[in-house]
């Protein structure tokens, strides 16, 4: 199992500002898509997560921007597990254009009960699969 998950995408007009450069907040959307597809690749799509009666919410984000992406660029957003916690996941993420690193950062996700919106431990099966991807990285 690969430690770093990769999701390809293209920059559309709605992703850019008036100058044709990707608006900074859209890098967070690209990272969100990579996290979503990463979880789906492990068998934990949105329906599966809801069946566990839980949700993932962003708790903290730290992103560094290096280079701009532009209209029609082909990009790659990545996600890998930096740390697992009882009720959360810290992802290391990046957005690249070929070999160029455009943005990178860490996104902390909290696992919460859907009804009460209170922290909840990751289900054991999910934690085990995520742990395997983290071990593949070592």
Helix (H, G, I), strand (E, B) or coil at 77: strand
3-class SS at 40? helix
113 flagged as catalytic: no
Give the Cα separation of 89 and 73 in Å (integer): 30
Q: Which of 17, 73, 99, 113 is catalytic?
A: 17
Q: By the 8 A CB rule, do 72 and 11 touch?
A: yes
The β-bridge partners of 62 are 106
- How many CB atoms neighbour CB 113 within 10 A? 14
For residues 35 and 45, is the Cβ–Cβ distance under 8 A? no
Q: Which residues are catalytic?
A: 17
């Amino acid at each position: 199992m690969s430690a770093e998950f990769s999701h390809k995408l293209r920059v559309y007009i709605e992703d850019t500002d008036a100058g044709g450069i990707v608006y900074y907040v859209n890098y967070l959307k690209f990272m969100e898509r990579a996290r979503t597809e990463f979880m789906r690749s492990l068998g934990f799509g949105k329906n599966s997560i809801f069946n566990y009666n839980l949700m993932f919410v962003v708790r903290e984000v730290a992103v560094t921007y290096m280079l701009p992406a532009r209209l029609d660029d082909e990009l790659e957003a990545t996600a890998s597990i930096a740390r697992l916690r009882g009720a959360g996941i810290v992802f290391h993420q990046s957005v690249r254009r070929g070999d160029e690193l455009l943005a990178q950062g860490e996104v902390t996700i909290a696992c919460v009960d859907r009804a009460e919106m209170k922290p909840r431990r990751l289900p054991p099966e999910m934690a085990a699969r995520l742990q395997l991807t983290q071990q593949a990285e070592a």
